[in-house]
Amino acid sequence: MLEPGELGRLLGPGGNELLCESCFEELDRYVELGLGDADADAQIPGMREHLEGCPACREDYESLRAFVLSEGRKAR
Amino acid sequence: MGAKDSGSPTAGRDVEARVDGEAERGVPPRPTAGSELSKPDSGRWVEELSTEGRVRDDAVARLHALLLRAARFEVKRRRGSLPHLRGDELEDIAHQSADDAVVAVLGKLGDFRGESLFTTWAYKFALLETAVNLRRRAWQGRETPLEPESWPHFDDPHASPEADAERSELMAAIGDAVATALTPHQRHVLVSVALNDVPIDVLADRLGTTRGALYKTIHDARRKLRTKLAESGLEVAAAGEGARP
Ligand SMILES: [Zn+2]
């Protein structure tokens, strides 16, 4: 059975997206922009789409965001 | 992706115990407002890691301590996916990953452009190495399934007959597009990663390639599927697409 979400996983985000190498290159900046007031998606086009389409990079993004947040909390 | 050569440039646990307090200096005061405040620290990291002798050794030891903390954080987040691993095995993976990440960071030091804090930039190498190592362990000895057991289709008991018919049509078209528009390699990679949850790094290892190359294959396959569906008069909006012009 194909669950409704699986259709999206099969067909991906559509539109223009970064690929994994550029995603990794921009990941730190994207995370910091996202934690600040900046519009990270506008500044790094194609990133959000890639994170929707690539489960591994998505996990890397979530980990970095969570870790930076937890470090910031400790340092306060 | 990170350097795969192992061999810690530091002495591991002893170093960490000695420099742990020092390493706190590398922590951004706050992730949001910290950026401007800590840019000079980022410059100092690069300077000290680029020099020689005692200063560099100390900086490398502090870097290792930071990256080990990141690696342990990742291990903690993912330990649910590895219930059979003992605590000391997980600790070994954290150390191995931190060692690999130090090598990767030192190798890529010239690529750091100062667009984020040095620490944020460096953490990503540790988190990546740890995630990849843990995914490898989780899939060690496991087969990667080749094809979905039967070509899946929507089956929603609450759907109206009309919606059901539309979905059946869509699914038949997708099944047809997957079968006819994709090469066997594209089909294998797309189905493994998108439907069968095989981690892309694990599949890349087994096929002797990289995450980036495999994702490019997936990207091209998806584009072919969308084109094929459009040719059949089926427009498929994807999740998240609506927000963009
Ligand atoms: Zn990716």
- Residue B13 token pair: 């646990």
B31 to chain A, minimum CA–CA distance in Å? 5
Binning pLDDT at 50, 70 and 90, where does residue B218 land? very high
Set of chain A residues whose Cβ sits within 8 Å of the Cβ of B150 = none
Q: How many residues does chain A have?
A: 76
> Residues A6-34: what's their mean pLDDT?
93
Is there a domain that residue A5 lies in?
no
The pLDDT assigned to B156 comes to 53
Is there a domain that residue A4 lies in?
no
Is there a domain that residue A7 lies in?
no
Residues 6+ apart with CB under 8 A from B169: B234
Is there a domain that residue A24 lies in?
yes
CA B57, B61, B62, B63 torsion-angle sign: positive
Q: Look at B238 and A11 and tell me if their CB atoms are within 8 Å.
A: yes
| Nearest by Cα to B66 from B110, B118, B134 | B118
The pLDDT assigned to B56 comes to 97
Q: How many CB atoms lie within 10 A of CB A31?
A: 26
The pLDDT assigned to B171 comes to 80
The pLDDT assigned to B152 comes to 52
The pLDDT assigned to B157 comes to 54
> CA B101 to CA A45: how far, in whole Å?
27
For residue B58, CA distances in Å to A21, B9, B20, B61, B176 come to: 31, 11, 11, 5, 60
- Number of folded domains in chain A? 1
Q: How many CB atoms lie within 10 A of CB B104?
A: 22
In the chain, the amino acid numbered B50 is: S
Average model confidence (pLDDT) across chain B = 80
In the chain, the amino acid numbered B3 is: A
> CA B63 to CA B9: how far, in whole Å?
11
Picking from B27, B115, B199, the nearest residue to A29 by CB comes out as B115
Is there a domain that residue A2 lies in?
no
> Residues B212-226: what's their mean pLDDT?
96
Q: How far is the CA of B211 from the centre of ligand 1 (A)?
A: 7
> CA B128 to CA B103: how far, in whole Å?
13
Instruction: Please check whether residue B212 touches A, CB under 8 A.
Output: yes
For residue B126, CA distances in Å to A13, A63, B99, B104 come to: 28, 10, 9, 9
A53 to chain B, minimum CA–CA distance in Å? 9
How many percent of chain A have pLDDT more than 90? Answer: 75
Q: Look at B31 and A7 and tell me if their CB atoms are within 8 Å.
A: no
Q: How far is the CA of B160 from the centre of ligand 1 (A)?
A: 37
Picking from B24, B34, B212, the nearest residue to A19 by CB comes out as B212
**Region of residue B142 (phi > 0: left; psi between -120 and 50: alpha; otherwise: beta):** beta
> CA B187 to CA B208: how far, in whole Å?
17
Name residues 11-50 of chain B within 8 A of A (Cβ). 24, 27-35
| Nearest by Cα to B97 from B136, B62, B58 | B136
Picking from B70, B131, B153, the nearest residue to A59 by CB comes out as B131
Q: Which residues surround ligand 1, an ion (CB under 5 A)?
A: A 20, 54, 57; B 215
Higher pLDDT, B153 or A14: A14
The pLDDT assigned to B65 comes to 98
Domains (range + CATH), chain B: 39-138 (1.10.1740), 161-244 (1.10.10.10)
Question: In which domain, by residue range, is A42 found?
Answer: 14-75
Let me know: does A40 contact A30? Beta carbons within 8 Å: yes
